Amino acid sequence: MVKHLITLEDFSKQDIEYLFEVALSVKKMKRQKTDILKGKSIGLIFQKPSNRTRVSFEVAVWQLGGNCIYLGPEEINLGKRETTSDVAQTLSRYLDGIVARTNAHQDVVDLAKYATIPVINGLSDMYHPCQALADFLTIKEKLVKTKVSSLKEIILAYIGDGNNVCHSLLLGAAQLGMTMNIATPKGYEPKREIINLARSWAEKTKAQFLITNSPQDAVRGAHVIYTDVWVSMGQETEAIERNISFKGFQIDNTLSLLAHRDFIFLHCLPAHRGEEVSEEIIDGPHSVVFDQAENRLHIQKAILIKLLGEQA
C-alpha cells in the first residue's frame, strides 16, 4: 500500500521521531550528494508561488540523487484543464513521487486517492505538514538537552491566525505530547474538527492545549513563540479587516517578556516586519527563523527517504 504525507495523521509518533533522526543525520552530511533516490523522478505540482518549499524540495531531491520536475499552474491546472484523477493516474506512470502545493486541500486528497505513487502535501489551505515537521525539528535541536530533557517539557505559544500552519503544529504537538497555547482574535481560531482530533490524541500522549484570545495568556512561560502572517496568499481582499482584528497580536519585546527567559522565536516566513512581529524580535538574539528555514531542506530529505528511499 502506497504511503502518503497529506496531514500529520499519516505519520505516527514513531514515524516523526524517525524523521528527526534521519534529518539530523543527513544534516551532518551538509551538501554531500548521495544516490538514495538514484533513477527516481519527483514532480512538483505548484498552484501557488513558493520560495522555501520549491527550492528546498528541488535541492533535496538533487542531493539525494534524484530528478525534480516543476509543474506550475501553466502546465497543470487541477480540475480545470484536466481532472485531478487523470493527472494523478498519468503522472503515476512517469514519476516516483509528487509534491503538491495547492489552493484547496481537497486537491491534495484527490491526488493521493488516485495516484499509485507517494504524494506529499507541500501546503494546502488546511495543512502544512512539512513546515510543522521542520519546526519541531528546530525546537528539538535548539531546546532539547540544552534547556529541557524532552519535547514533552516544551510550551509552544502560537500567536496569530488559526491557519494551515497552526493546524499542523497542533496535530504535531498532540502526537509528541507537548503543551501548545494558541492565541487568536475572536473568529480566527483553528477549526473545531482539528482541535477535537488533537484532543483525542492528547488523551494518550498527555499533551495539553490552551485556546484563548489573549496573547499574554498564551505566551506566559513559553519556551517557543511562533507566529505567521496575518494575511496569507488568497486573503488579500481581507487585508484591512484582518489588520484591524489582529491589532494587539504583534510579537514584540513587551509581549515576549512574559515568555521563558531563554525562549526561541519561530516564523514560517515570509514575514511582514512591523505587522505580526517587530524587527527587534525577528532580527534579535532569540530568533532562529533562518535555522528553521534551513531545516525545511533536511526534514524534506527525511520525508523523501522514508516514502521513496528507505531500502536504499
Q: H or E stretch including 46?
A: strand 41-46
Q: What angle do CA 240, 264, 218 make, to 5 degrees?
A: 55
128 is catalytic: yes
242 is catalytic: no
Catalytic, 101? Answer yes
Candidate list 54, 101, 105, 286, residue with the active-site label: 101
110 part of the active site: no
Q: For the stretch 91-127, what's the b/e string if a residue is b when 16 or more beta carbons lie within 10 angstroms of its beta carbon?
A: bbeebbbbbbbbeebbbbbbbbebbebbbbbbbbbbb
Give residue for cell 488579500. 236
Burial label, 308 (beta-carbon count in 10 A; 0-12, 13-18, 19+): buried
Of 52, 54, 105, 128, which one is the catalytic site residue?
128
Q: Which residues contact 156 (CB under 8 A, 6 or more apart)?
A: 139, 169, 173, 178, 179, 180, 181, 222, 223, 224, 226
Tell me if residue 31 is catalytic.
no
Of these residues, 125, 228, 260, 300, which one is catalytic?
228
Catalytic: which of 63, 131, 175, 300?
A: 131
Helix boundaries (H) for 144-220: 164-176, 192-205, 215-219
Q: How wide is the angle at C-alpha 213 spanned by C-alphas 241 and 267, nearest 5°?
A: 75
From the list 125, 268, 292, 298, the catalytic residue is 268
261 in active site: no
Q: Which three cell numbers stand for residue 194?
A: 482539528
**Which of 105, 260, 296, 298 is labelled catalytic?**
296
- Active-site residues, by number, are 101, 128, 131, 228, 268, 296
